[in-house]
Amino acid sequence: MTSHSFIDRRSFLVGAGAAGLAATSASAQDKYPTRPITLIVPFAAGGSTDIVARLVGQKMSELLGQNVVIENRSGAGGNVGSTAVARAAPDGYTLLLGTISTHALNPAILKTVTFDAVKDFTPISLLAIVPNVMVVNPSFPAKTVKEVLQVLKDNPGKYSYASSGVGTPLHLSGELFKSIGNVQMNHVPYRGAGPALNDVVAGAVPIMFDNLPSSAGFIRNGQLRAIGVTTRERVASFPDVPTIAEGGLTGYETYTWNALFGPANLPRPIVERINQAANQALKDETVKKRLNDVSADIVGSTPEQLGEHVKTELAKWGPIAKASGAVVE
């Protein structure tokens, strides 16, 4: 056999092998999903991100024909769970429910950056934008923003507020309130909104800035008092609750959002399959009603729209996060 014929044969075998792998890969993508999908929520159970994940994930399970298993992997303001997805195989079986924390705030405040919010993820769909709310334990001696400000000014450093962790939107909501209102409060960070909320309901910490979905039930049953929502406008599910800006802090506005991401280099057919299922789930009447009940503003987007949204949020919140001085280990 000549050298030339050996090279030709080897080239043919390599080419045939590559073609076979490509065909196998394409076939796997066409059949996706063939086993359960893990949707990592990078915060503790009970918070608004967890609520959105479970509502949308359950419907996606029906649409995809495979279980979407919610896994709460909290720590470092969402960094632990996000890093796990960034390092996962890009096969569509490990997804992330990302937030403003994981993709806009953490890049500015992480002491050690373990992922790139743009390069290490594949955007899939922006699911919902969620208002925050300032709540207090009913024993707290104030019912309005102005009354809260007065109590804090009369008692500098006496009161504390809880949040879902250092550098989270809820932490920065509190810092912005302190800055604009020129008041003092001690920050008590927790490993997620759920545990923080439990302590505020129990009266261990009097004040909290929370995502409205996770506080809604406690507000309705009287276990928490809503002082004001953090968005620019009032929300439909609590029309009697004023905005914090209305209450006296002009220009005050914060919010969060929930979006689906996969690891970088997720094949386009899989991205489109997940995007279709997620956006279809958001149109389900039961899902819509449940999300509307907790004041989540349903979006549903293309992967490209989510990608642009992340870049815009990074540019907006990065300077604010750095100015807060917050550092996540």
Q: With helix as H, strand as E and coil as C, how does 185-234 read?
A: CEEEECCCHHHHHHHHHHCCCCEEEEEHHHHHHHHHCCCCEEEEECCCCC
Rg (CA), the chain: 23
Q: Can you give the pLDDT at residue 21?
A: 47
Q: Can you give the pLDDT at residue 48?
A: 79
Q: Can you give the pLDDT at residue 72?
A: 96
296 alpha carbon, distance to own chain's centre: 12
Q: Is 265 left (phi over 0), alpha (psi -120 to 50) or beta?
A: left
- Homologous superfamily of the 36-129+255-324 domain (CATH): Bordetella uptake gene, domain 1 (3.40.190.150)
**What's the rounded Cα separation, in Å, for the pair 152 and 133?**
18
CATH no. of 131-229: 3.40.190.10
What residue ranges do the domains of the chain occupy?
Answer: 36-129+255-324, 131-229
Q: Can you give the pLDDT at residue 23?
A: 46
Residue for token digits 């403003």?
100
Q: Can you give the pLDDT at residue 17?
A: 52
Q: Can you give the pLDDT at residue 146?
A: 96
Measured at the CA of 125, the angle between CA 122 and CA 128, to 5 degrees, comes to: 135
Q: Can you give the pLDDT at residue 99?
A: 93
pLDDT tens string, the chain, 329 residues long: the values are: 444 443 454 444 445 555 554 444 555 567 899 999 999 999 888 877 898 999 999 999 999 999 999 999 988 778 899 999 999 999 999 999 999 989 998 888 887 878 999 999 999 999 998 899 999 999 999 999 999 999 999 999 899 999 988 878 888 889 889 988 999 999 999 888 889 999 999 999 999 999 898 899 999 999 999 999 999 889 988 999 999 999 999 989 888 899 999 999 999 999 999 999 999 999 999 999 988 877 888 999 999 999 999 999 898 888 877 777 777 66
Residue 243: C-alpha distances to residues 34, 35, 48, 154, 234 (Å): 46, 45, 19, 23, 6
Contact 110, 278 (CB under 8 A): no
Is 62 buried (19+), middle (13-18) or exposed (0-12) by CB count in 10 A? Answer: middle
